[in-house]
Amino acid sequence: MTSTAPPDPHAALDRFVDGELPPGEAEAFRQHLAGCDRCQASLHARVQLAGLAQDALAGGAAPGATVIRPARWRIRAAAAVGVALAAGLAVVIAGRLPGGEPDPSLWLADRPARPYEARLSTPAADRYRPYEVTRGAETAPAPPLPALAKLEDRGRLVAIADAYLARGAPEPARPYLDRAGNTPEALASRAAMDLMLGRPEEAVRHAGQSLAAKPGYRPAQWNLALGLRALGLTVGAARQLDAVAAAGEPGWSDEAKQLVEQLRADAQRRKDHWAEVLEACLGAEAGELPFPADLQGVPLVFLRESFDETLARAGTAERLKELLPAAETLDQRLGGDSARRAVKRALAEPMKGREAIGRAYAEKDHPDFVALADMAQKAGLRDLELWALLRAPVGQVSPERLVALAAAFGDPWYAAQAEERTATGASGLALLEDRVKACTGAAGSRFEMRCLAAERELVAHPLAAPADALAVGRRALERARREGDMHMELSLLKLMARVAKPGDPALSDAYDMEHDLLMSRITP
Amino acid sequence: MFASTAALWYARSVEPDEGARSRFEDFARRERSVLLGIARKLCAGGSIDPEDLVQEALERAFRQRARLDGQPDPARRAFTRAAMTNYFLDLCRKRQTERATADPGLAVEAVPAPDRAEPEQWAAVSDEQFLAAVKKLKPDKLQQAYRLHAGGMRYREIARQLGAPEGTVGAWLTGARDQLRQLLSEVS
């Protein structure tokens, strides 16, 4: 066996750690490493240094650092090798050359409609035509090769990619965009490609990068809006489209306005519905309205929790008795007799002290649930003790106390809640992934709630890979919206903003904006 | 009013507690991209999956979170990076043993798996101390090459930028790391 490693194998360590060895030599070095104590020890130091360099220096943030970003460097290098050559290189790198546009038919821009919703960055391809799903792409011939070759000679890689994208063909466009680098134009067209491939998160990232380099760049704003809309982030999408509409580009401006109207109407519908749900539940919890046990378009588990809340604040036997019909309706909807048993249990417990605990709870914005549980325990109110423990922060409650109390009730509704609360801290990622996998295809409100809880926990799990967490989060977000569960939606939006932040600030902002707007509508 | 409803506790219960778990989460998110950048290079062109390497390192740190929680960032990241390197070396050794078993003609010495992590040595190095050490790198071209490399440039690009052969760039970078190791061992 011949080795392709350099003569002194130890000497290759740095080039190996830097990823500079060709594949064969890298593999030979890994084999050498397996048996070389000296290189193993050095590798530790090299990895630590590489990490420190990335923490402290990457991105050129260090004071006085002379780190030059690759794009700028290329332009400087080009300048160094002579004006004529530099001009040629700049064209290759930037992928655009002013003037001398070829025939617009290369991008099907002469047709009356466009078959794709995104915008392309090549100006000749970006001429406005109304979006129509059924017309255009299927009948379009492949782009003529001589025209493409001419573009390639001139380094206009993005224009070539756009010719394919205009035909609804994202795959052939990809190699050209890969070579075109990270210019704002290439990134905006890349976002269009992502949208065609059904990858809205990628579209948001690429369009966001394009806008960071070229603020106000319309095709990027447009594609960013479409990506956000596909992710259900209506607020962020509407904001981008507002900017496009305000720019007054013929055609594009009107289409943007229409899209914004649709988005706002949809968001308004969801907000109005949630406001109604809250009004009904809040009124019942405060003892001012009958409990809305037959309310539709709201997760049953949410209603059941609101019922427990109402029960906890019902300080008199009369009020508790009034809740029996609602308990019956709830039980019919959920199956079982849990709600009725809860009312009867409350009625059987000493009434003294019940009202005082309910009042102590209602008076505070951030009640101390552990203290409330202790008060209830002293008063012999075991149902209120359990209710308070289930609401206390996980770390402040003894799991044994919670599980034992829930078990004593012999009610699966409380046992399941106690189990979920105590399992939160310890559940491993693999277990969680199994729970999420088991949700695929699950239907029906009770299942949906369990799935949502598992999915949300996976999104929040510190070890979940961000891409996986975001994919699961998207599914959960859709589920929460289908269920009309706005609080779960809010929680997911907040979590997803946090997950997306390091890799994709634009997406993270969009999740945050959506969260803040929805929140502003449901809090006083 | 809003705070005293089922809606709010429900919303609150879905947010993770801002405790050790949440702090670890923040740390793991920041650390993942650094680890992945290094892991991709270690695994380039081979059969080890860099994502697997990173995941294992973070899981090892997660298992130790009670111990790591409350420690400064440099200590936590030094631990995680050492854990990743150890796991990578374990995999290299394992693969070498498998190769030797499959092909007895390969003279491979069975080497035990010593953990040479020594994260303590790196656990005390802050970003500021590291930057101060970088500023001391001599000669200037060597420091420049190191900064360019840290900014993401390949050897070839640095060579063109600084007008030096690629081999010289490699020697500068090796020299820079040896100097840094020396300077930082004085710090810690």
CA B82 – CA A43 distance, rounded (Å): 10
Q: How far apart are CA A94 and CA B149, in angstroms?
A: 23
Chain A residue with CA closest to B78: the answer is: A48
Q: Which residue has the tokens 């990457």?
A: A58
Q: A166 and A108 in contact (C-beta within 8 Å)?
A: yes
Asked if residue B8 has pLDDT above 50, the reply is no
Site of tokens 């392709």: A4
Residue B92 has pLDDT above 80, yes or no: yes
Query: Which chain B residues contact residue A421 at CB under 8 A?
Result: 13
- The answer to whether A129 and A112 have CB atoms below 8 angstroms apart is yes
Q: Which of B15, B36, B41 to mutate to test binding with chain A, by most A CBs within 10 Å of its CB?
A: B41
Cα–Cα distance for residue pair A462/A464, rounded to 1 Å:
6
B135 touching A (Cβ < 8 Å):
yes
Q: Which residue of A has its CA nearest to B61?
A: A463
Of B32, B44, B149, the CB nearest to A23: B44
What pLDDT is stored for residue A438 in this prediction? 63
Judged by a CB distance cut-off of 8 A, whether residue B161 touches chain A is yes
What confidence score (pLDDT) does residue A216 get? 92
C-alpha triplet B141, B143, B146: angle, nearest 5°: 110
Rounded to whole angstroms, the Cα distance separating B42 from A181 reads 25
Question: What pLDDT sits at residue B110?
Answer: 41
Q: What is the pLDDT of residues B67-84, one digit of tens each?
A: 777 788 888 899 899 989
Q: How far apart are the C-alpha atoms of A279 and A311, rounded to whole Å?
A: 17
Q: What pLDDT score was predicted for residue A323?
A: 95
Q: Would you state the pLDDT for residue B119? A: 57
When CB atoms are compared, the residue of B1, B58, B151 closest to A463 is B58
- Closest of A297, A266, A299, A233 to residue A488, by C-alpha: A299
Chain A residue numbers with beta carbons less than 8 Å from the beta carbon of B30 are: 502
Q: What pLDDT score does A227 carry?
A: 95
Q: Give the length of chain B.
A: 188
Interface confidence, given as ipTM, is 0.86
Pick from B44, B85, B130: CB nearest A44: B85
Average pLDDT over residues B19-25: 64
Give the per-residue pLDDT at A390.
87
Other Cβ atoms closer than 10 A to A105: 15
Which pLDDT score, from 0 to 100, does residue B89 have?
92
Q: Quote the Cα angle for B112-B117-B121, to 5°.
A: 145
Least Cα distance to A228 among A256, A261, A195, A253 occurs for A195
Record: contact A34-B151, CB cut-off 8 A: no
pLDDT at residue A452 in the model: 76
Using CA atoms, how far apart are residues A379 and A367, in angstroms rounded to an integer?
18
Q: For position A454, what pLDDT does the model report?
A: 77
Low-confidence ranges of chain A (pLDDT < 70): 1-7, 58-102, 134-140, 365, 394, 420-432, 434-450, 520-524
For chain A, say whether B84 makes contact (Cβ under 8 Å). Answer: yes
From the list A467, A43, A502, A507, the residue with the least C-alpha distance to B33 is A502
Q: Bigger pLDDT: B183 or A438? A: B183
